Structure 1
Amino acid sequence: MRIVRAGLLALCLAGCGGNGEPEADVAPPQAEAFVRDCSWLSHEDPELMNVFFPDTQAHYWLGVFAIPPGGELLLEGEFPHARYMSFNLYDPTLAPFEGMNDVSIVPDAGSVNPFVPGAARDGDARRYTLRVVAEAAPEDPAQRAPNTLYAGIEGIPVPGGVIMYRIYVPDEGASLAGNVDLPDFRYFLPGGSELPVPDACAFLEQTRLGSGLNAQLASMNLSVAPIPLSPTDPLDWKRFHNPLLTVVERTGPVIGDLPIYDTLRGLALDSGLQGGFMSNRDNAYIAAAINNSAGELLVFGAQAPTTPRTYEGAPVMAAAQLRYLSICTVDFPTQRYWDCLYDEQLQRDGQDRYLVVISHADERPANARPECGVTWLNWGPLSAAAVILRNMLPAPGFLQAVQQIEALDTEREVMQDYYPYGTYTDRVAFEALSIDPQGGADACRVDASALLQRARG
């Protein structure tokens, strides 16, 4: 297990990113040269690395730090022009154990935090300062110092580690970093003396961390590994709690009818593990296996939670049920994504309900397009895949968020109208749901009510 964890951590140090182009109406920011402080070792690069189930609208910067004995690390930066930002620290299992998101950060004197609901998003004064200390976090959250990340784990001081900086949905026309510089690392000794950050940029650029990883993963052909990805019809979404539970649940098609299956699931849930795969503390996920053995294409729909619409540069941060929602198709064995869409790309009807079709590109129905009330997502090149739905930072009163799912098999009960009921069909049958699948908005409008009712059982 230690060898596996070390290998995963080595992969992580190469950066977290993805490849492929999302097929949706709002395009992500274009790729650009990676400019950063030398302490930021890597930025997601579609040509190098697509692992840990990334999201096309999220941009990741990975850094390492070593705090001087008795000293501290300061991260000084500006709030980006974007939907969301956060910092996460990771343990050797690649689970986040400490973090701080945008609304938790107190801005510097004279500056404004643009992520607070109701705040102006376009102000010039937007600076902040974070402290990173080696101590473990106080057991009482009320005793935490403001704007402080604690690197210690399980009560033990840890003077170094891995930090990930995330930005989601930069504003239209903004850089990947949201039109601000990346945060600066500043190290201080006891007494206040500052240590210079080593100038390692030239070496890091030459090494191109993660180079060739995508090709290596493809050559390993892990997608034919004996990991069960048998589908269910109707679609059966499960909340992601930790990697151990995910592995156990992948054995469901083989041992699901045996009493030991539920015993193993319970043990995995109660193992104390939280998160994994370099996950984000502010996200919660449900996922489902999909397979063409059950049908040519997958259809699912649900009530859409409200989210702030920021891509076009909204002047004020709106309050909403979620900060962000996305849906991705992925390859479970290699942890690659095939395609993603996020909340502003979801086509909604007059009641804020959405309908998603997942198929291979050459099997896409003619009426699987926005003017017909449908959002399309690429299945990917393989017959077996998985689909992941993310919920980020739910409002305290939004009790149907994925974050509220605590017990096993309560996804439908908790999410209610926001649970995405889904079933399989084929292109001919789906196109028959429109008067004219090739026609304009009125003629091609899809009525999938009977299909979704079948999915509800």
Structure 2
Amino acid sequence: MSLRAVGLAALLTAAAPAVEAQLGPGGNPLQTVRYGCYWTNTTDTTTNNTGFLDSTATYTVTTLPLNPGNGARIVIRGRFPKVRYFSFQIYDGFRPGNFVDSIPDALITPVGGATPAPNPAVLPDANGYTATYQLQVVYRDPPANPANRQPNTLYAGVSAPIGVFNKTLLYRTYLPNTDSNGLGGAGLPELIYAGPEAQINLRNTPDTGACKLAQLNNDLLRVFPVPGIGQNQANVAFRPVSGRGAGVFYPNGDSNYLRAQTGRLYAPLIVVRGRLPLTAVQPPLLVADPMVRYYSLCQNDLNTSRNVGCLTDRDLRLQADGTFTAVISMPANRPSLARPEFGYNWLPFGDQLNGLTVLRQILAKPGFSGDFARAVDRPALPLTRTLGSFAPDITYCDRATFISYAPSGGAALVDACRKNFSLLGGLLGG
């Protein structure tokens, strides 16, 4: 993947010092968008494959004012999409997107009622996907106590890094139904500027010129190269990463991750084994009390942040003990038994030397013992301590060991790969 040139506006944004300025009524006089833009950019693995995307995700982005002042707000109106998960997040506009606030579908009350479930991992009841919602974006800091949040409200904050001229709003959808598109058949929500002087549907924004520049700037900012190298057998391991943490590309506040830096020169195969939590199914099919809303295993190019492929909880083939085992390799090195009919999942490694293997969780049930947030909160502890039986394994392996031990199941295979793996054998292709 070649890197596109970054324009002057992007360079100014990326280089801005990470200090904050308080914004009074009317916001920063240098803000380029006074009322806001309609949705300007869409990112998925086919249109702009960067930023460590999940292959089932569609991100749609727009630009909002830093602070329109005079009590103005942005209204979001839409219909519940036929997807596993959707949400809105707002960022302060500083690359790579400092997280301000999030409202997931689990906290969105439809127009006309319906009480959100106490377990956010439960799919919202959208009345056969005829339900609509209305949210507001207000220019106040998110309440420190979540119990003090206003219903159906996203908080844009009252400050921003110096050198940033606008806020960024991102609409995420994950895993659409098999009979719908990436937006779950609901289209894009409407965006409306609601101020004392006007009600403006942002499809017809007065900020047309500024929004075209914002769209170009957003396109340039989506390039996200990451320096790094894969780790060898002695060091390769899943490490917890917060969905709200620094250094995450436009972080999703509803997600947490386990990530391992991998390299294809160390061995022909990478083997991942884990226990799949109970998840929601496909809307409108409901699971009464799921452990997480969404779970996936993805392989990415480490240095380009490109997605190579993902297996979702809906795709992963389980073995008799309820765990999954996945093999990651170049297509030419894929063992004949690394197929679902033999109880094994497979993902391609990608054409780069260094990879990032990612396990993703979205909206865990409160108190769930395998919640990745438990590992994020105590990163120095081994995953077996923080996640118990939900702690995953990752190891390099050679083809001969896989062929010998795959018939015995994933647990025996992982143990044998760790014991028998030879660096020389890996470099020679096993």
TM-score norm. by structure 1 comes to 0.73
CA–CA separation in structure 2 for the residues paired with 1:300 and 1:348: 13
Residues 138-287 of structure 1: pairs in structure 2 closer than 5 A: 138-153=143-158, 160-190=166-196, 193-197=198-202, 199=204, 209=216, 227-233=228-234, 235-241=236-242, 274=246, 276-287=248-259
Aligned to 1:415: 387
The structural deviation recorded for 1:446 is 5.1
CA–CA separation in structure 1 for the residues paired with 2:128 and 2:160: 40
CA–CA separation in structure 2 for the residues paired with 1:101 and 1:216: 26
When structure 1 is superposed on structure 2, of 204-213 and 447-456 the one drifting more is 204-213
- Matched-pair contact (CA < 8 Å) for 1:68–1:187: no
TM-superposition CA deviations, 1:348-374 (whole Å, max 9, x none): 023311111010011100000001000
The structural deviation recorded for 1:147 is 1.0
TM-superposition CA deviations, 1:8-35 (whole Å, max 9, x none): 99xxxxxxxxxxxxxxxxxxxxxxxxxx
The structural deviation recorded for 1:380 is 0.7
Residues 1:132 and 2:137 are matched in the alignment? yes
Residues 1:335 and 2:305 are matched in the alignment? yes
The structural deviation recorded for 1:155 is 10
Aligned to 1:6: 13
Residues 1:452 and 2:423 are matched in the alignment? no
Determine helix, strand or coil for the equivalent of 2:143: coil
CA–CA separation in structure 2 for the residues paired with 1:6 and 1:278: 14
Q: For residues 38 and 161 of structure 1, do their structure 2 counterparts lie closer, same or farther at Cα, with a shift above 3 Å needed?
A: closer
For structure 2, list consecutive stretches of 5 or more residues without a partner in the other structure: 1-8, 17-35, 420-430
Aligned to 1:51: 50
Letter in 2 for 1:356: A
Determine helix, strand or coil for the equivalent of 1:393: strand
Aligned to 2:89: 88
TM-score norm. by structure 2 comes to 0.77
Q: For residues 117 and 336 of structure 1, do their structure 2 counterparts lie closer, same or farther at Cα, with a shift above 3 Å needed?
A: closer
CA–CA separation in structure 1 for the residues paired with 2:166 and 2:216: 20
Aligned to 1:68: 68
The structural deviation recorded for 1:190 is 2.8
TM-superposition CA deviations, 1:269-298 (whole Å, max 9, x none): xxxx54621121111011111123331101
- Matched-pair contact (CA < 8 Å) for 1:237–1:287: yes
Aligned to 2:367: 397
Given the alignment, which residue of 255, 266, 271 partners 1:294?
266
- Matched-pair contact (CA < 8 Å) for 1:234–1:422: no
TM-superposition CA deviations, 1:373-421 (whole Å, max 9, x none): 0000111112321211111111112122211111233223112221221
Measured on the aligned residues, the alpha-carbon RMSD in Å equals 3.7
The structural deviation recorded for 1:433 is 2.8
Q: For residues 366 and 198 of structure 1, do their structure 2 counterparts lie closer, same or farther at Cα, with a shift above 3 Å needed?
A: closer
CA–CA separation in structure 2 for the residues paired with 1:90 and 1:206: 18
Aligned to 2:355: 385
CA–CA separation in structure 1 for the residues paired with 2:308 and 2:203: 38
- Matched-pair contact (CA < 8 Å) for 2:241–2:259: yes
CA–CA separation in structure 2 for the residues paired with 1:352 and 1:422: 17
Number of paired residues? 380
CA–CA separation in structure 2 for the residues paired with 1:350 and 1:5: 55
Letter in 2 for 1:428: A
TM-superposition CA deviations, 1:104-137 (whole Å, max 9, x none): 1111115687988386555254111111111222
TM-superposition CA deviations, 1:65-114 (whole Å, max 9, x none): 22532211110111111111101111325132201001111111156879
Determine helix, strand or coil for the equivalent of 1:344: coil
CA–CA separation in structure 2 for the residues paired with 1:152 and 1:211: 21
Q: For residues 109 and 361 of structure 1, do their structure 2 counterparts lie closer, same or farther at Cα, with a shift above 3 Å needed?
A: same
When structure 1 is superposed on structure 2, of 391-400 and 206-215 the one drifting more is 206-215
When structure 1 is superposed on structure 2, of 45-54 and 403-412 the one drifting more is 45-54
Residues 1:426 and 2:398 are matched in the alignment? yes
- Matched-pair contact (CA < 8 Å) for 1:51–1:336: yes
Structure with the larger strand share: 2
Determine helix, strand or coil for the equivalent of 2:192: strand
- Matched-pair contact (CA < 8 Å) for 1:110–1:125: no
TM-superposition CA deviations, 1:193-241 (whole Å, max 9, x none): 4134253799889998589979988xxxx68x6x343323474111124
CA–CA separation in structure 2 for the residues paired with 1:155 and 1:145: 22
Residues 1:375 and 2:384 are matched in the alignment? no
Q: For residues 396 and 215 of structure 1, do their structure 2 counterparts lie closer, same or farther at Cα, with a shift above 3 Å needed?
A: closer
The structural deviation recorded for 1:334 is 1.9
Determine helix, strand or coil for the equivalent of 1:417: helix
Letter in 1 for 2:99: P
Aligned to 1:97: 100
Q: For residues 214 and 95 of structure 1, do their structure 2 counterparts lie closer, same or farther at Cα, with a shift above 3 Å needed?
A: closer
- Matched-pair contact (CA < 8 Å) for 1:423–1:451: no
Q: For residues 154 and 455 of structure 1, do their structure 2 counterparts lie closer, same or farther at Cα, with a shift above 3 Å needed?
A: farther
Letter in 2 for 1:44: T
- Matched-pair contact (CA < 8 Å) for 2:139–2:158: no
- Matched-pair contact (CA < 8 Å) for 1:137–1:155: no
TM-superposition CA deviations, 1:28-63 (whole Å, max 9, x none): xxxxxxxxx961011115455222111101111101
TM-superposition CA deviations, 1:141-184 (whole Å, max 9, x none): 3322111111115699x995101101111111112211113111
Letter in 2 for 1:344: R
- Matched-pair contact (CA < 8 Å) for 1:305–1:321: yes
Letter in 1 for 2:172: R
Letter in 1 for 2:248: G
Q: For residues 409 and 456 of structure 1, do their structure 2 counterparts lie closer, same or farther at Cα, with a shift above 3 Å needed?
A: farther
Aligned to 1:109: 112
- Matched-pair contact (CA < 8 Å) for 1:232–1:290: no
For structure 1, list consecutive stretches of 5 or more residues without a partner in the other structure: 10-36, 244-272, 435-444
The structural deviation recorded for 1:3 is 7.6
- Matched-pair contact (CA < 8 Å) for 2:106–2:123: no
Q: For residues 315 and 195 of structure 1, do their structure 2 counterparts lie closer, same or farther at Cα, with a shift above 3 Å needed?
A: same
CA–CA separation in structure 1 for the residues paired with 2:253 and 2:100: 8
The structural deviation recorded for 1:448 is 3.6
